[in-house]
């Protein structure tokens, strides 16, 4: 049988449960393509699923479990009925989310609707950084908040994975962008296009900002509470679900401040990925890679990711 390298877990736990080993290559099904993975993006949801051993779509544990969703690579096989891609095409995407995608592997199969042609101007590692974080930013800004040119948006955590894409996408849409970050990332977010930067180590958000139309909250906790103080009545606060207590805080404060609160969940979309690829190739969207690691060192990548201070994205390279 044909084999490949993969990273999987047999029990939930810390980074030591990540096992780099040989497994059988996946078998193509109708409507799928076989991708030779060249890079896999790292997201916080990766280490959450590793720590708890959970299949996100069901909340149950099915082991062994191969971690990861974001991939970039080449098409090496076509399932029955596939006409959207050809062997040799370079593609990227977030297949099957929130079901198991097995991205930390040399080969994966993926439904054609979950993928798009890779941005030509980006490396595989840069492209692999986009799907989950980029789709989260795109869908939060344009599907949920309906951000318009001329509006003002506050993006908390602008130097992070979602944040650094959200700044660029909001500027492309024509919005005025305010963001929060630490001192070391002030110049970084300015270079991304932020109009106003709040250094949260030196300034109070509630004192420095007022009357924004939209908030994209990637932090939660006290930052989310302060976000309600700066948004206009009739505005909207969109929050990401990865932080404990976010839903309760949002539902408590939204009526008090006369704003809409939405807890958003990303969904896979080859169409949105294709649009972001066009922006990347036009020089309007880029990935900042804080670090890359070979597939066998996925544990090191998870340790860095769990530290919570990654600038932009991390990726695994799959040679």
- Among candidates 253, 250, 252, which has minimal Cα distance to 263? 250
Asked if 47 and 16 count as a contact pair (C-beta separation under 8 A), the reply is: no
Residue in the structure block whose two tokens are 């919005």: 175
* Per-residue confidence in pLDDT tens, the chain, 319 aa: 799 999 999 999 999 999 999 999 999 999 999 999 999 999 999 999 999 877 766 667 778 999 999 999 999 999 999 999 999 999 999 999 999 999 999 999 999 999 999 999 999 999 999 999 999 999 999 999 999 999 999 999 999 999 999 999 999 999 999 999 999 999 999 999 999 999 999 999 988 999 999 999 999 888 999 999 999 999 999 999 777 789 999 999 999 999 999 999 999 999 999 999 999 999 999 999 999 999 999 999 999 999 989 999 999 999 8
- Write down the pLDDT at residue 221: 84
For 198, list phi and psi in degrees, rounded to 5: -105, 115
Q: Specify the domain boundaries for CATH 3.40.50.720 within the chain.
A: 132-263
Please give the C-alpha separations between residue 171 and each of 23, 37, 279, 285, 313, in angstroms, as whole numbers: 44, 31, 12, 10, 20
Residue in the structure block whose two tokens are 């692999």: 128
CATH number of 132-263: 3.40.50.720
- Among candidates 68, 162, 73, which has minimal Cα distance to 116? 73
- Write down the pLDDT at residue 109: 98
pTM across the whole model: 0.96
- Write down the pLDDT at residue 57: 64
- Write down the pLDDT at residue 177: 98
- Write down the pLDDT at residue 123: 98
- Write down the pLDDT at residue 260: 98
- Write down the pLDDT at residue 217: 95
Give CA–CA dist 231/95, Å, rounded.
35
Residues near 207 by Cβ (< 8 Å), separated by ≥ 6? Answer: none
Give CA–CA dist 311/270, Å, rounded.
26
Cβ of 278: how many Cβ atoms within 10 Å?
14
Domain 3-130+287-317 CATH class label: alpha beta
Q: Specify the domain boundaries for CATH 3.90.180.10 within the chain.
A: 3-130+287-317
Residue in the structure block whose two tokens are 């929130």: 98
């Amino acid at each position: 049988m044909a084999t490949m390298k993969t990273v999987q877990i047999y029990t939930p736990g810390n980074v030591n449960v990540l096992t780099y080993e040989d497994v059988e290559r996946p078998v193509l099904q109708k409507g799928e393509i076989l991708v030779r993975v060249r890079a896999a993006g790292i997201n916080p949801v990766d280490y959450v699923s590793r720590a708890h051993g959970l299949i996100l779509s069901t909340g149950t544990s099915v082991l062994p479990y191969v971690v990861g969703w974001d991939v970039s690579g080449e098409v090496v096989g076509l399932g029955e009925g596939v006409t959207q891609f050809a062997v040799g095409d370079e593609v990227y995407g977030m297949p099957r989310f929130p079901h198991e995608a097995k991205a930390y592997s040399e080969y994966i199969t993926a439904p054609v609707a979950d993928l798009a042609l890779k941005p030509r101007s980006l490396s595989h590692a840069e492209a692999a950084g986009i799907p989950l974080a980029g789709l989260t930013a795109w869908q939060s800004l344009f599907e949920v908040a309906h951000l318009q040119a001329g509006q003002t948006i506050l993006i908390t955590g602008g130097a992070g994975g979602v944040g650094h894409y959200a700044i660029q996408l909001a500027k492309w849409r024509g919005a005025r962008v305010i963001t929060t970050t630490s001192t070391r990332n002030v110049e970084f977010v300015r270079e991304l296009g932020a109009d106003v930067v709040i250094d949260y180590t030196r300034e109070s958000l509630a004192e420095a900002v007022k009357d924004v139309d939209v908030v994209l909250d990637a932090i939660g906790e006290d930052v989310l509470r302060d976000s309600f103080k700066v948004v206009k009545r009739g505005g909207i606060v969109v929050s990401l679900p990865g932080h404990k207590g976010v839903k309760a805080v949002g539902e408590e404060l939204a009526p008090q401040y006369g704003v809409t609160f939405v807890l958003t969940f990303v969904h896979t979309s080859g169409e949105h990925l294709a649009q972001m690829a066009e922006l990347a190739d036009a020089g309007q969207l880029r990935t900042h890679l804080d670090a890359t690691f070979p597939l066998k060192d996925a544990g090191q990548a998870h340790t860095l990711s769990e530290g919570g201070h990654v600038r932009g994205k991390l990726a695994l390279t799959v040679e």
